[in-house]
Chains A and B, each alone.
Chain A
Amino acid sequence: MAVSAALALAPQLRIAPRDPAAETEALLGVAGWAAQFTPGVALEFPDCALLEISGSLKLFGGLEPLLERLRLGLREMGWSAALAVAPTPRAAYWLALAGKGEFFGSMAELEPALAALPVEIFCRNDETLAALEAIGVRTLGELRALPREGVARRFGQGLLDEIDRGLGRLPDPRIFFVPPARFRATIELPAEITQAEALLFAARRLIVQLVGFLAARSSGVQRLVLRLGHRNRAAIEIAIGLVAPSRDAEHFTLLLRERLSGLALAEPVRELGLQADDMVPLAGNNLGLLLEQGKPPGDWGHLIERLRARLGAEAVRGIAGRAEHRPERAGAIADLGVKQMQLDFGERPFWLLDRPKPLAEIDAVPHHDGRLELLVGPERIESGWWDGDEVARDYFVARTQNEALVWIYRERRGEGGWYLHGVFA
């Protein structure tokens, strides 16, 4: 019917032009996601993915659990789908087209159900359909009741072959879908989004698709790029780096949420894309045979990523030691996980001050919250004449009036003076 007629019948109808390219991309995306359940994924354009699952049933715990996972995943990705199971791909396709969510394990069960299928499902030729209607054949069963030579003569051998393939009498070889090497997916948002947090909902769909894709390849990624498409401006890319490769949907969602919270969008976003380029082999987790008491040990890399996502990469660091006499260089903030060095110094305090603090000298005695009592020392450190950062100090361990132990030094260059450099916490 014409669009105007449709609108007259249902004024709230939303009209959108068909986008075959987008439909193809969507189908490929679903196929890539579904490849985690079986290597045998075939496509039936424009909107069907065929999965050969006989080898997968045991691994996924039976037909019902497998179908449940399929339904759940498709729902999370935002698709509504009809599922059907049959011994041949063609029959499964027909059943799904017919909207019959039915599952047939054997031909014996299948044939009666197919008999009730309307002819429009498997016959696309309008002339043939008209002719079939003219002779009163409406279902597959009725068509099969006709003599084969007559059908072949009137409607062509092709129709018979089609039915035979569906019934498993003729082979129906398929070319299996090979997932692409890199992951690219985009969603056009139904309405423009102005708040970054709202993007998370749409991004979740892309994340589910990515995780399925990665599971199919037994891989993980260490870098995700989220693309925000605007109407007038160039797209913004948000890169998320991971400490260790992962394909954990919850973890990706958490990281994304931390990144998006507080992000101010200069322009409304109308399109969201996710891409991942470098896949890294990542096996699944082995469960221990005995259950751990309490919580299972968490993922260290995930924790670091979460902390960095919210606090910034600079806020989460490690420390490193160096074989350096100058105390401020012997220990410093550095990258995480530095290998332990053999360091052999004298007595050193647990805390080092960022900058040595000048101390008052009263009656030739250094003061810090009162008189300081020198306990151990002096340890003379003279070093650094070669790089211009010369140090000449006498270090002491001193006790404060409060019975705390501190590390102080007497500057031997220039004007001298006492300084506090560390605390023996």
Chain B
Amino acid sequence: MAGVSFSFAALLERPDIWRGGSLSRAGTPAVPSGFSRLDAELPGGGWPAGALTEILPAHEGIGELRLLGSALAALSNRGLWLAWIAPPHLPYAPALAAAEIDIGKIVIVRTATAKQTLWATEQALVSNACGAVLVWPRSVKYADLRRLQIAAEGGRAPAFLFRSPEAAGESSPAPLRIALGTAAGGLAVRVLKRRGAPLARSILLPAMPPAVRGNRHVDRHSSAAAAARDFPARLVHA
């Protein structure tokens, strides 16, 4: 048997060996968001697993993905897949990697019609094969949402639906609905709906990108050089 390397670890990976120590995880019903101030106000202490969470950012770019970054990183690093369905732009790998999200665990599903979007979301939820499902539906009706909520139930994945702020006025079967705005340089989270008592006040979260937080001015040296290249100095902020 000289020259044959035997890997015990590989032996244990075989599918026909059952290991008594591997107990099935009871499964937390919520995924912590990474913001303690927010988790304190969410039933279960985090994003609800097996349920829809609607996120209604006042504008694109307010911080709707930064809000989820910590949870997505935790899920992907546990080896779970993240499904992004009908995203409005390309999820940018360097940014995701910087947020410690495992980009090898991301699947992007690009759909041509609203119906395909809903179908793909339903499939992803029913299969219970993902750690989280993120979807940007173009137009959803109450009945569609209800169907997605049913598809999500019993599963382990939180499902995040990004909708426009006008949808806040519509009724929805999603157990958690959050509107996002900004205030005082941070992310203002308004919980529109949650299981249990309603929340009146907004929660302020520090969710600025590090560069903006720490260095809130344009680099002076470069601006001087740039001014020489026809770059007006009055654009520089102190």
Query: Which residues of A approach B to under 8 Å, CB–CB?
Result: 282-286, 288-300, 302-304, 306-307, 310-311, 314-322, 327, 330-333, 336-341, 343, 345-354, 364-365, 369, 373-378, 380, 394, 396-397, 400, 402-406, 410, 412, 416, 422-425
Contacts and interface: CB of A to CB of B under 8 A. Distances in A.
Contacts of B127: 298-300, 302-303, 306
Contact of A338 (B17, B104, B154, B234): B104
A425 B61 contact: yes
Contacts of B126: 298
Contacts of B15: 282-286
Interface in B192-220: 208-212, 215-219
Interface string B112-148: 1000100110011011111000000000000000000
Contacts of B231: 410
Contact of A303 (B22, B129, B217, B222): B129
A375 B60 CA distance: 18
13 contacts: A283-B14, A283-B15, A302-B129, A303-B123, A304-B107, A315-B109, A318-B103, A343-B97, A348-B98, A373-B237, A378-B219, A424-B209, A425-B64
A339 B217 CA distance: 36
B129 A294 contact: no
A243 to B, nearest CB: 11
Contact of B60 (A297, A404, A410): A404
Nearest to A365: B235
A423 B154 contact: no
Contacts of B4: none
Interface of B: 14-18, 20, 22-24, 26-27, 50, 57-66, 81, 87-99, 102-112, 116, 119-120, 123-124, 126-130, 154-156, 181-182, 208-212, 215-219, 222-223, 226, 229-232, 234-237
Contacts of B110: 311, 314-317
Nearest to B237: A374
A425 B66 contact: yes
Contacts of B93: 319-322, 330-332, 343
A423 B61 contact: yes
A394 B228 CA distance: 14
B212 A347 contact: yes
Nearest to A402: B59
Contacts of B17: 286
B218 A380 contact: no
A359 B99 CA distance: 28
A1 B58 CA distance: 85
A336 B107 contact: yes
Contacts of A376: 211-212, 215-218
B231 to A, nearest CB: 7
B102 A404 contact: no
B108 A333 contact: yes
Contact of A350 (B91, B128, B208): B91
A390 B81 CA distance: 36
A52 to B, nearest CB: 24
B108 A378 contact: no
Contacts of B104: 318, 337-340
B229 to A, nearest CB: 7
The 4 A-B residue pairs with the shortest CB-CB distance in the complex, in nearest-first order: A404-B61, A331-B93, A321-B93, A298-B129
